[in-house]
Structure 1
């Protein structure tokens, strides 16, 4: 990218509701990169900042896509598509000075260091606010910026454990089980994106930026559904229930001919439709299971309702059951990832998108936020470390080529 026009071309390709918003992404792995990826997908110009000698170690995470020239991480690409990439050594005076120049032109900064790290570097919110009073400083961490645990190191599993979700997951007769994805990282990123956009709206209105402080523990806690109010109202402690719901029945996993389905026909209306669908409408009037309240009883659910559903569902495949249920009752096949990727409905929603990696187009999950006023655009590849140093430093900041060479030789970029 040789001139300022090319920066304008890049930004024009990032149309959407956040077009014109500049985001500095000083984050690694997922809790942070996912947050800024959402903003990039929505049109923001996101500049990913990596250390020149220690780039984001998610670049080493599988699976990899290889060409004759390179081998790249699809994991990394999934969370860093549609971003510009630069390198900065934030421990060097020159690197700090460059970041401050970028802050002057930015709307949002996202970081996921342990609280206090940016302050020790001399790049904390108070310092950066003096440079850009409108800056939205978004900080993602394990425990947040305040409280007795703020300085503790944390990972996704920390959020799952400390937020209570781990204790609820699994089966009653076994130890708790972590949720099978990095829900702490993902939830914190989602809340950070919401918080950043909300704070940006206020900064646009008042001219004043602020800190958006998001903790993995806090984020996971909000995913525990009714567990908190069950405890605060009745001192009832949520524990692993397997695939069951604490009080709604039938509402869970049921076996069929070729796998499992989720069935949630617990209301009287859905129960009656289900009984008729399987040719036994009289079951809806059985005095032992004819009301929702009766079917909620654990013993009744296990001895009367479940045997009926097992008998009905076992005669059909997942696809046959979905076709029978149609839009009449809530029933869905429990799909494998290949089945989800190849699902026609997922395709209709454009939820598997192609992203260029190592000369190939690789499918990955798309943006779940669908806006009626916007057509989704082709995705840009994830940047290589420092790929856009020339574009950002020379063209956005006006740094001369010989100065950029000096900064590179000094290890600042």
Structure 2
């Protein structure tokens, strides 16, 4: 374990719920911040999202909640009650960062908005996550991942050729927004070291999805061409994507002409390698359908293992299409310690993913299991100089 975690000494008042905000504050907790998760009476909505639930002698916990709330402490505060609001203000007073994902204006009405808090606590960094931003016609709309994926264009170019719009199977608008706001918070902490003053940063789901579109968006802006779904293929590189072999699927990434020649040699595809139509990537893109038709039969002769072994030896990037059971059985994933089992107050123990970074080669620890509702209320209120009646 590294001696001092990067954000050790930083306190985060976490007024977020569901996914985007909790994912962001989990990352801050992973980096060493003391994240105080403020939950309403009844807890974060995702505590009830299930099945599936993990069962233990002390109760059950939603797998959804467990997935994004490690390395935090939980307090229950009723922000509609004066005592709860006073406790929340005390928490903010002792915090470096406030993160919230309420609809615009909600915390302003409670006296916990940016203008009021910045005037009173000028060093506070105030991070806001919304569906559509703090201005514009859609400002007051609630934001959800599926809505953002659709409105941001992602569903129009994701999916099978000729198929209907398809949502990405992970809540990428939520998760990417959470990662972006974390990045902004880290930059704001660095800026505060130079200026002594906190700032407000904000991210919204819609613009995060548009940003995540990357090359698809860039292609449209450059050419006016509206991208359509191409399945697992790549619009500008061939072959690049998922291929079927005798007993399963493998992803290959033949990113240049040298790799193409090695690909053909490794699989003894002499005829394909000699075809002038396929000698360059531009030609392979132009003649994609013809190449795909000829590769189908050729690759069916190999098992998944045979295909990957040959391509590995040749240095052609490839990998199996795994289900999650195969992912966590993979010796590399196991060797990297991606899954970590930690003690839990009601479950006995639970398994979560580890923080995704290494510092000086060392993994960051899971210091705390995802908390039970209000598990740390008394502890945190005592630190703030209050008592349990402030809830």
Q: Does TM, normalized by the shorter one, top 0.5?
A: yes
Q: Counterpart in 1 of 2:384? A: 397
- 1:119 is displaced (CA, Å) by 0.7
Correspondence for 1:332: 319
Is the aligned partner of 1:105 residue 2:91?
no
1:159 correspondence with 2:148: yes
- Find the counterpart in structure 1 of residue 370 from structure 2: 382
2:109 paired with 1:120:
yes
Write the distance in 2 (CA, Å) between the matches of 1:178 and 1:43. Answer: 34
Quote the residue 2:307 is aligned against.
Answer: 321
Contact persistence 1:48–1:84 (CA under 8 A): yes
Q: 1-side partners of 2:9 and 2:362: how far apart?
A: 15
Cα distance per residue 1:104-127 (max 9 Å; x no partner): 210111111011111111110111
**Match in the other structure for 1:310:** 296
From 280, 283, 287, the equivalent of 1:291 is 280
SS in structure 1 opposite 2:20?
coil
Q: Distance in 2 between matches of 1:182 and 1:355?
A: 25
Shift of 1:76: 0.8
Q: Using the alignment, how far apart are the partners of 1:391 and 1:13 within structure 2?
A: 26
Figure out how many residues of one structure are paired with residues of the other and give that number: 388
C-alpha contact 1:15 1:42 (8 A) present in aligned 2: no
Report the equivalent of 1:137. Answer: 126
1:272 matched to 2:237: no
Partner of 1:30 in structure 2?
19
Structure 1 residues 10-409: aligned runs within 5 Å: 15-51=4-40, 53-62=41-50, 63-281=52-270, 283-297=272-286, 300-303=287-290, 305-326=291-312, 328-357=315-344, 358-372=346-360, 374-394=362-382, 396-399=383-386, 404-407=387-390
SS in 1 for 2:278: coil
CA distance in 1, matches of 2:329, 2:212: 28
Q: Gaps spanning 5+ residues in structure 2: where?
A: none
Q: Distance in 1 between matches of 2:3 and 2:24?
A: 16
Moved more, 349-358 or 192-201: 349-358
What SS class does the counterpart of residue 238 from structure 1 fall into? coil
Provide closer, same or farther for how the CA distance between residues 406 and 290 of structure 1 changes in structure 2, counting only shifts above 3 A: closer
Change (3 A) 1:260 1:375: closer
Cα deviation for residue 286 of structure 1 reads 2.3
Q: How far did 1:405 drift?
A: 4.3
Query: What stretches of structure 1 move > 4 A for 4+ residues in a row?
Result: 12-15
SS of structure 2 residue aligned to 1:76: helix
- Secondary structure, counterpart of 1:386 in structure 2: coil
Structure 1 pair 374–230 and aligned structure 2 pair: CA distance change class (3 A)? same
TM-score after normalising by structure 2: 0.94
Secondary structure of 1:201's counterpart equals: helix
Paired residue secondary structure (1:39): helix
CA distance in 1, matches of 2:388, 2:289: 72
What TM-score, normalized by structure 1, do the two folds share? Answer: 0.89
Separation in structure 1 between the aligned mates of residue 34 and residue 309 of structure 2, nearest angstrom: 44
Unaligned runs of 5+ in 1: 1-11, 408-412
Deviation of the 1:167 alpha carbon:
1.2
Whole-Å separation in 2 of the counterparts to 1:47 and 1:200: 18
